[in-house]
């Protein structure tokens, strides 16, 4: 170290340099094209953020999945998605008929969600409770104690299906 700098002054200079360089780097990363760039921007804006997703075909869903994988390389975006700070809003393509939208709503409120297998944890309860008030839990589902408490707190009914 140079003799002219004390430790605190050096730390302040490093903090300032990092702040300036990271502050300048944020907009170009967020401006990256497509859904991945939009997710990075949404994670940087604050919480909660809603991102519109067009999912009218299998190709659209494939593109969405690839964009999520690309965006999750950034740990900030991944953490925001897992925590529920970034929400996804489905948008219908223009060619879909209104009859299809009437017969099967995109997000039923108060409906029943069925889970056949896997692990049902706290985060999943929070995610499901945004659109559903009842969860049918299959016999192969492992339910964590914290998830049961979270469901009770969020007034979500858990019903275990018999094998």
- Using a 10 angstrom Cβ sphere, with 0-12 exposed, 13-18 middle and 19 or more buried, the burial of residue 40 is buried
Residue with more model confidence, 140 or 3: 140
Q: How confident is the model at residue 155 (pLDDT cuts 50, 70, 90)?
A: very high
- Report the alpha-carbon distance of residue 74 to residue 43 in Å, rounded: 10
The closest of 28, 26, 50, 23 to 39, measured between CA atoms, is 50
Q: How far apart are CA 154 and CA 158, in angstroms?
A: 11
Q: Which of 102, 89, 154, 91 shows the shortest CA–CA distance to 128?
A: 154
For 109-131, the pLDDT digits (tens) are: 568 889 888 889 998 999 898 88
pLDDT at 56 over 60: yes
Does the global pTM surpass 0.85?
no
pLDDT exceeds cutoff 90 at 159: yes
Q: Residues 77, 80, 84, 86: is their CA dihedral positive or negative?
A: negative
Domain ranges of the chain: 26-100, 107-160
Taking only the tens place, the pLDDT of each residue in 128-141 is 988 899 999 998 89
% pLDDT > 90, the chain = 13
Mean pLDDT of the chain: 76
Nearest residue to 109 (alpha-carbon basis) of 86, 85, 130 = 130
User: What value does the mean pLDDT take over residues 66-85?
Assistant: 82
| Residue scoring higher pLDDT (15 or 1) | 15
Query: Is 7's pLDDT higher than 60?
Result: yes
Is pLDDT above 60 for 39? yes
């Amino acid at each position: 170290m140079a003799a002219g700098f004390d430790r605190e002054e050096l730390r302040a200079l490093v903090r300032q340099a990092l702040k300036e360089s990271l502050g300048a780097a944020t907009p170009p990363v967020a401006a990256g094209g497509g859904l991945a760039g939009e997710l990075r921007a949404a994670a940087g804006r604050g919480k909660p953020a809603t991102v519109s997703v067009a999912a009218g075909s299998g190709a659209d869903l494939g593109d969405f999945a690839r964009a999520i994988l690309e965006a999750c390389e950034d740990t900030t975006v991944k953490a925001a998605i897992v925590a529920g700070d970034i929400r996804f809003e489905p948008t219908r393509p223009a060619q879909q008929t209104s009859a299809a939208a009437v017969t099967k709503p995109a997000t039923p409120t108060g409906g029943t969600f069925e889970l056949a297998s896997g692990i049902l944890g706290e985060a999943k309860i929070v995610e499901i409770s945004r659109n559903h008030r009842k969860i049918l839990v299959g016999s192969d589902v492992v339910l964590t104690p914290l998830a049961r408490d979270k469901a009770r707190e969020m007034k979500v009914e858990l019903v275990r299906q018999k094998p």
